[in-house]
Amino acid sequence: MASRALILGARSSIAVALARALADAGWNLVLAARRVEELEPTAADIRLRWGTQVHLQEFDALALEEHASLPPTIQRDAGDFELAIAVFGYMGDQLAVRDDTSQMEQTLATNFVGAAVVLAHVANYMETQTGRCGIVGISSVAGDRGRQSNYFYGAAKAGLSSYLQGLRNRLASSNVHVMTVKPGFVDTPMTEGLEGLFLVASPQRVADDILRAYDRRQDILYTPWFWRYIMWVIRLLPERIFKRLKL
C-alpha cells in the first residue's frame, strides 16, 4: 500500500511542486489549504498523470481551535498519513508591518503559532502509528539572524526553527523524524516584487532538495545548499558591525 503525505498550505508554489514530486515517487496525497476547492484542477491533473489518490482538506492555519481535530478527520476521510509537510507562511508588506498591529499579528501567528499548534497535534497522532513517519517544517534563512528588512517574519521563523528542534529532540527515540527546511529566496508570489533578491531558486529545485534530504533523514536542510555558508558568514559577523548593515 502506498504511503500518504499531508501537505499543509498546499496552494503555495513550493507545495504544488512538492505534491507533484511526491506523486511521481508513488505517494498518495492530502492537500490541505484555505479555499481548497481552488486546488481541484491540480488534484485532477495529479490523479490523471500519476494515478495516485488525492484528497482535498479545508485547513486554516489561524483556526487554532480546529487543529486538534485535523489528524483524526484526515484519518477518517482519507486514511492514515505517514508524512506531514507544513509549507504555509505569510510575509506581507515589511514596511506596513512596523506600524500595523493586524499585520504584526498575522505575520507572527501564521509563521509560528499556527505552524507550532498544528504540528503538535500531528506529532501526537504520528506517535500512535507503528510505521516510520515524518514531519517537515518549512522555516527560512530569515530566522538565522534578525535583519531590519524582515525582522517580524524572521523572528517568527526563528521561533519555528527552535520549535522544530525541540520537537525533533522529543521524538528522536520514536518512529517520527522531524526535519527543518531553511530556504533562501524562492521564486514565489510571496517574494514577487521584493527588493534585494539574489540567487533565487525555483520551487521545483526546493521541492526536489526537500525530498532527497527527507529520504536521508536529514535534520536541517538549507536549500539551495549554498545558503548554509552564506548564513554561516552572516551569523559570524560581530553585532557592532552587523547592526550597521542595510540588510
Are 6 and 122 a contacting pair, CB within 8 Å? yes
CA separation, residue 117 to residues 67, 69, 114, 152 (Å): 7, 12, 5, 19
> Which residues are identified as catalytic?
153
Residue 218, SS3 per DSSP:
coil
169 φ, ψ (degrees, to nearest 5)? -65, -45
Query: What is the Cα Rg of the chain in Å?
Result: 18
User: Measured between alpha carbons, how far is 122 from 30 in angstroms, rounded to an integer?
Assistant: 13
What does the DSSP assignment read for 81-135? -SEEEE-------TTGGGT-HHHHHHHHIIIIIIHHHHHHHHHHHHHT-SS-EEE
